[in-house]
Copies of this chain bind each other. A is one copy, B any other.
Amino acid sequence: MRRNTGRYALILAGGRGTRFWPRSRRSRAKQVLRFLGERSLIQQTVDRLGPVIPPDRVWVLTNDHLRDEIVRQLPEVPRQQILAEPAQRNTAPAIGLAAHILQSVEPDALMGVFPSDHVIAKPARYLRFVRQAFHAAAQGNIVVLGIQARWPETGYGYIEFPKDARAGSLEPFKVRRFREKPDLKTAMRYLKAGNFYWNAGMFFWRTSVLLDALREFQPKTATLLASLPEFRSRRFASALKQVFPNCENISIDYAVLEKARTVAGFATDDFGWNDVGSWNAVYELLPRDRDGNVLRSEALAESSSGNYVDAGGKLVALLGVRDLLVVDTPDALLIADRSRAQEVGDLVKKLEQQKRDELL
């Protein structure tokens, strides 16, 4: 008989979101920015989960640059549950570490993994699936939420469901296969087929189930994590600094999901999920004026349409310009064609190569 164990959230908040430069910086990454509403994306994540997982059962994994800001933004989450990874080692070690700690807090706990930087327009509808996913995880399954594909996206991995999987079903299906980011032709085939869902990085399992899988498929990382002292011990932080950088740099998708014999998946229907992948996504998520401009600063727009303007307290005058992203900060100004929004991250790479640390 299963114990009635508690539900915990692990929010992964170690990303940088360089595509939101110059607004995003190492210490102000995408998840802590407020570009959609009054609350930052990570605050929205905790708010949204509230009816299912109270904040005192929320854990956050982030990095040293961001931890202070996240502690400030999430006063309702116990600060010792907001951890900075000593090194970036992708999602498998991060999730393994969290499972290891949670296991010591409550053996066999139910754990949901959530990105910190997505939006969900219909949270009540979303939570129906989250509750069902925890339910399926309580049965001992590895569980994933699939997002119904809305266009042939080449930037996400896909989850292949059985051909008869019905979108919106509150019962899980057995995942046929995980698929890596496809090329456009393949993505179009997936979209047409209808049984391929986006993998949005939302996973559910008992900590014991995940740790078993990690031991089986990533024995080195599992052994390293098992060598850590008790989470509450004084030696934990320094031991983690020693151990964590030696873990394998691999995503949970490669490390566990693709190898697991069975994964239960929910073929969700539309709850307004958006991973806010670029400034253009922000533009598309916000209300526009009749010229298709999103003007987040005071602006004077003359013969100008389709622009996104975010310039703090400064007046921006636009004259005869179209489809621009304009993001102004005290030390850097971005002006990009909206169709190039995905390439903003490449600019940041260039600044890194040029060692312009003050702008990163």
Contacts and interface: CB of A to CB of B under 8 A. Distances in A.
Interface of A: 21-22, 300, 302-303, 311, 314-321, 324, 326, 328, 330-337, 339-340, 343-344, 346-347, 350-351, 356, 359
B321 A333 contact: no
B334 A317 contact: yes
A334 B351 contact: no
B315 A350 contact: no
| A-B CB proximity, top 5 nearest | A319-B336, A320-B337, A320-B340, A315-B332, A316-B333
A62 to B, nearest CB: 26
A142 B9 CA distance: 88
A348 to B, nearest CB: 9
A204 B340 CA distance: 56
Given A315-B331, A317-B344, 16 more contacts: A21-B317, A22-B317, A300-B347, A300-B351, A303-B340, A314-B333, A315-B332, A315-B333, A315-B359, A316-B333, A317-B334, A319-B335, A319-B337, A320-B336, A321-B335, A328-B328
Given A300-B351, A328-B328, A351-B300, A317 B343 contact: no
- Most-contacted residue by chain B among A21, A320, A340, A350 (CB, 10 A): A320
Contacts of A344: 317, 319
A16 to B, nearest CB: 16
A198 to B, nearest CB: 27
Contacts of A343: 302, 319-320
B302 A320 contact: no
A302 B347 contact: yes
A316 B302 contact: no
B328 A333 contact: yes
B316 A335 contact: yes
Given A347-B302, A347-B319, A350-B300, A314 B340 contact: no
Contact of A317 (B300, B314, B316, B332): B332
A23 B339 CA distance: 30
